[in-house]
Structure 1
Amino acid sequence: MSIFMAVSIFSFIFVLFVSFIPIACQVSSHDHKTLPIESSLEPIARPIKTQIMVEFQVIKAADWEVPLAGLLNLNDPNAKLANLTDRPEPISIYFYLIKHPKFGAFLIDSGIGESFTKGKDHLLVSSIVASQMNFDKLKIYETTKNFLTKNKISLKGIFYTHLHLDHVMGAYEVERSVPFYVGPNEVSNKQFINLFVQGSTNRLLGENPNLIQLDFGKNQYQVSVLDFFGDQSFFVISVPGHTPGSLAFLIPSKEGGHLLLGDTCHTRFGWLQNVIPGSFTADSESNRKSLDGLKFIASSYKPKYIYPGHQERIVSIDLK
């Protein structure tokens, strides 16, 4: 069965269930704590006045392939102008390491666990979920545990851009005391699709994860910014839309700064042509506002490197 036929069948089942069973659940049934924080709706202005720079590293965990219609809104005029149609699109799965000189090492997203290198009988996701995820196209280069072990990294926390399965596939390999930070409403919001993925998400997060949902207060439904360490070295940006609690990140650096978009924008084309994701996003209207907000931050701060969620980084020279 092709991935397109499988997606069509899944879509039919989804519509059928939505019509007759108006119920929903959280993305994970694990307990979580809420951490109230003070955020700002002000854009990040340049220059940032900080003497502290975190170390930053990009790790490619795997290459993959998914339908382009999920990654891009093909009805957008810019997509139509480029004559884009649905097709299998090459993507990658990344995770990121930051090292703060005072607070230690953190990851952004959790990469991929070793069980995914051992074949379909060792997957930690349900058979229904596995049938939709095109795992036969997944080519793994680095697992989370191996990366942490060989580099002797003692993690102090993981920030998740969001809790879609492809961003939590290495979480179960991480020490249970390590905090998992997620965005506003990422866990507490209830959606119908979670009926299908909750069990798989629970297994991938591992037993009793230290799950902490950031509470941006009255700003939680808007693009807003948190100076996480309080020294302007690492900014967490709430960008609701792709999921309720999607996060992006701005990391100043001597070479010009890094802006991580998460899945508010999956692709290089999406960022360069200002096109939001397609069927993979939960709330297109909010995603549009969040992408516009990230564009505004990029124009204010002018980071040298911009990282779509699933394709290679964009260097500022590419924007000229």
Structure 2
Amino acid sequence: MNTIKIHVLHCGSIDLDEAASFYEKTIHPMPYSGIFRSKKHQINVPVSAYLIEHPKGLILIDTGWNTEVRTNPKKYLGWLYNISSTAHLPPQQAIHEQLHKLGYQASDIDYLFLSHLHPDHVSGLKLLTNAKRILTSSLELSDTKKHPLLYLPFMWKDVNVETFDFQNSEFDLFGDGSVVFVNTPGHTNGMSSTIVQNDGKFVLLCADTGYAEKSWLHMILPGMMTNKKKAVQSLKWVKEMSENPNCIEVLANHDANVKPHIIEF
């Protein structure tokens, strides 16, 4: 297969309590919310998206923040989200702006995949409605009704979002193993991690299965989970994948130590 190129993009950032990223066992009932927690516990982490230049099409994973957060984030995201976090989107970091710098526009995107539907992953969707196909897992979309406080459905309202079903926990985009979406539940039930493979080597984009490399190195779960047991199993899988000698990189969406860069293999 020809070369695959992955652009690691930061489409803004978010201030949140460190317990949202890294699970803490504490007497506080919801430490990840940041409520009644000192500002010393706040951290700033990137909100990432990934543009994959693949011989069979242009693929985008996640969308980062919408430009609405620049003007009126409280109105756009709502009071609940603003209590627990603060969104930032500097100039030229919105996903459509970054695509433009790379010489693309939304209509060039063959497949826009949403790893899961939390606001920081889907907010920029309406900047990209001209993408040829927009997909997320059927399990994730159905779960938005079971956990309504975790989602803002207006972000995908009136957008033609298709769904796919996992077969044995996987969805192979091209049927050749080069781009495979793997169900890694726990943070959300329908969340997808992405394996991008070429010539035996691979990159794993693990979404929010863990929030940083230290998550799988030290088995630190995300602070927000729909199923802790499944979250442990998913993070163990990421750790095993990271130890595979054919693994080039494992990237968590919100790892503050990961800078924008290009992976070519």
The TM-score range, normalised by the shorter chain, is 0.7 to 0.9
The Cα RMSD (Å) is 2.7
Query: Is 1:147 the counterpart of 2:98 in the alignment?
Result: yes
- Which residue of 1 is the match for residue 31 of structure 2? none
Query: Is 1:54 the counterpart of 2:18 in the alignment?
Result: no
Query: Is 1:116 the counterpart of 2:60 in the alignment?
Result: no
- Which residue of 1 is the match for residue 215 of structure 2? 270
- Which residue of 1 is the match for residue 33 of structure 2? none
| Alignment partners' CA distance in 2, 1:197 and 1:299 | 32
Q: Which runs of 5+ in 2 are unaligned?
A: 27-37, 260-265
Matched to 1:65, the amino acid is D
| Alignment partners' CA distance in 2, 1:184 and 1:52 | 31
| Alignment partners' CA distance in 1, 2:62 and 2:204 | 15
1:149-206 per-position Cα deviation (integer Å, ceiling 9, x unaligned)? 3422311121112111111110011125643221241011265540x455xx22222x
| Alignment partners' CA distance in 1, 2:78 and 2:44 | 24
- Is the 8 Å Cα contact of residues 15 and 42 (structure 2) preserved in structure 1? yes
Aligned length: 242
- Is the 8 Å Cα contact of residues 111 and 135 (structure 2) preserved in structure 1? yes
Matched to 2:247, the amino acid is P
- Which residue of 1 is the match for residue 112 of structure 2? 158
| Alignment partners' CA distance in 1, 2:110 and 2:194 | 17
- Is the 8 Å Cα contact of residues 97 and 108 (structure 1) preserved in structure 2? yes
- Give the deviation of 1:257 after TM superposition: 3.1
| Alignment partners' CA distance in 1, 2:164 and 2:158 | 18
Choose from 228, 232, 235 the match for 2:177: 232
Query: Is 1:71 the counterpart of 2:21 in the alignment?
Result: yes
Query: Is 1:285 the counterpart of 2:209 in the alignment?
Result: no
- Give the deviation of 1:127 after TM superposition: 3.1
Secondary structure at the counterpart of residue 214 of structure 2: helix
Query: How high is the sequence identity, in percent, across the aligned residues?
Result: 21
Matched to 1:204, the amino acid is M
- Give the deviation of 1:213 after TM superposition: 2.2
Decide which moves more: 269-278 or 145-154: 145-154
| Alignment partners' CA distance in 1, 2:44 and 2:110 | 32
- Is the 8 Å Cα contact of residues 17 and 84 (structure 2) preserved in structure 1? no
| Alignment partners' CA distance in 2, 1:193 and 1:237 | 21
- Which residue of 2 is the match for residue 134 of structure 1? 86
- Is the 8 Å Cα contact of residues 182 and 195 (structure 2) preserved in structure 1? yes
- Is the 8 Å Cα contact of residues 11 and 47 (structure 2) preserved in structure 1? yes
Listed as ranges, the matches of 1:135-214 within 5 Å are 135=87, 138-140=88-90, 142-150=93-101, 151-153=103-105, 154-176=108-130, 178-189=132-143, 193-194=147-148, 196=149, 198=151, 201-205=152-156, 207-214=157-164
| Alignment partners' CA distance in 1, 2:61 and 2:182 | 13
- Give the deviation of 1:291 after TM superposition: 1.2
1:25-84 per-position Cα deviation (integer Å, ceiling 9, x unaligned)? xxxxxxxxxxxxxxxxxxxxxxxxxx24432111111233211111112239xxxxxxxx
**Compared with structure 1, are the counterparts of its residues 177 and 303 closer, same or farther at alpha carbon in structure 2 (3 Å cutoff)?**
closer
- Is the 8 Å Cα contact of residues 177 and 210 (structure 1) preserved in structure 2? no
Query: Is 1:241 the counterpart of 2:186 in the alignment?
Result: yes
Secondary structure at the counterpart of residue 140 of structure 1: coil
- Is the 8 Å Cα contact of residues 305 and 313 (structure 1) preserved in structure 2? no
| Alignment partners' CA distance in 1, 2:146 and 2:48 | 27
- In the TM superposition, structure 1's runs of 4+ consecutive aligned residues that sit over 6 Å from their partners are none
| Alignment partners' CA distance in 1, 2:73 and 2:22 | 28
| Alignment partners' CA distance in 1, 2:228 and 2:211 | 14
Q: Which runs of 5+ in 1 are unaligned?
A: 1-50, 77-84, 315-320
| The structure with more radius of gyration | 1
**Compared with structure 1, are the counterparts of its residues 188 and 274 closer, same or farther at alpha carbon in structure 2 (3 Å cutoff)?**
same
- Give the deviation of 1:267 after TM superposition: 1.8
- Is the 8 Å Cα contact of residues 6 and 52 (structure 2) preserved in structure 1? yes
| Alignment partners' CA distance in 2, 1:226 and 1:301 | 23
